[in-house]
Amino acid sequence: MILVMTAEAPVRPQVVAHRGASYENAEHTLGAYVAALDAGAEGLECDVRLTADGHLVCVHDRDLRRTAGRRDAISTLDLADLERLDVASWKNPWADLDDEAPIRDESLDRVLTLRKLLETAADYHRRVELAIETKHPTRYGGLVEKRLVETLRDFGWHREGTPVRVMSFSLTALSRVDQMAPEVPLVMLLDKSAMWPVLRRMIGKDWLVGPGIDLLREEPELARRIHRRGHDIHVWTVNTEEDLRLCLDLGVTAVISDRPALMLHLLDGAPGDEDRAR
C-alpha cells in the first residue's frame, strides 16, 4: 500500500535512517549506513560519543555490553581499542554458519567514526542530510559539542545550507552548539509531554522539536501544540505503516526509522520491504 497525502496532511516527510538501516543491519556500522543509502534514505541519523583520545564515534550506549560483549565505557577507550572490536556479530550471530554467504568486508562491521560517516555522505552522488545526536550525561560535558562543531567546520558544514542538524535531549548541549555554530539547525528531543510547557519558553524560535512516536501515540494533541508554536516536528522511531500514517496525519516533516526502505515504499511506492509492513 502507498500512503496518499491528503489536504489535511500535505507534508511528505523526509525519511531518515535511524542508526542506519538498523532493522536488518548492525546499528551505527558503515554497513548499516550504506544499506540505508542504497535504499534511498534522504537522511542518516547517528548518536555520537567521545573516546578517551578525543574522537567522536557513532555509538548509542555508554558502554559496549550490548554490541561487543564488553563492559568498558566508550569514554575510557582510545579509538584504536574500539577499531579492533567486532560490533556487528551480535545482530546475526549465526552468519558464520552460512556457507553460501558472500565474504564480507570487515570494515563495514567496525566502530564508525563520525568523520568517516560525514565523508561517506559528502562523497555520495546526491544530497544526504545528517541528524547527529549528542549523548548526555557524559564525563566530557561540553567537549562533545566543541569537537562536533570543529568537525563540521572541517567540512564547511557549520554555515547556512549545511546538511547537518544537531539533536539532543539536553537543552544545555543544544545551546552550546547554538553559540558556536548559530547557523546549524537544532532539534530539541522530547520523550515526556510534561517537559513541553517548560521547553517551549526556552528553545529558539527556529528550533525543530523531536518527540518520540510512543509519546505521539498517547498524546497526538502534543504535535498540534508544537505546531502552534511554529516548530516543525521530526519523529523517532517510526517503523510501521500505522505509525507512519499517524505522522502524516500530524504533519511531521521527518520520520526517523530503522526501516527506511519500508518507509519509502509506503510513501512513494519505491522498492522496499512491503512484506514485513505489519
Return the pLDDT at 1: 61
Our answer to whether residue 60 is catalytic in this structure is yes
Return the exposure string of 69-100: e unless at least 16 CB atoms fall within 10 Å of the residue's CB, then b.
Answer: eeeeebeebeeebbeebebbeebeeeeeeeee
Catalytic residue (choose from 28, 55, 60, 125): 60
Return the pLDDT at 2: 64
Instruction: Please list the ranges in the chain whose pLDDT falls under 50.
Output: 7, 97, 276-278
Our answer to whether residue 28 is catalytic in this structure is no
Q: What residues have CB less than 8 Å from 131, skipping those under 6 apart?
A: 16, 43, 44, 45, 46, 164, 165, 167, 187, 234, 254, 256
Nearest to 166 by CA among 155, 226, 154, 181: 181
pLDDT tens digits for 103-136?
667 778 899 999 999 999 999 999 999 999 999 9
Catalytic residue (choose from 18, 158, 231, 234): 18
0.85 surpassed by pTM = yes
Question: Which domains are seen in the chain, by residue range?
Answer: 14-276 (3.20.20.190)
Nearest to 50 by CA among 149, 179, 181, 143: 143
Return the pLDDT at 277: 47
Return the pLDDT at 278: 45
pLDDT tens digits for 194-226?
999 999 999 999 999 999 999 999 999 999 999
Q: What residues have CB less than 8 Å from 276, skipping those under 6 apart?
A: 259, 262
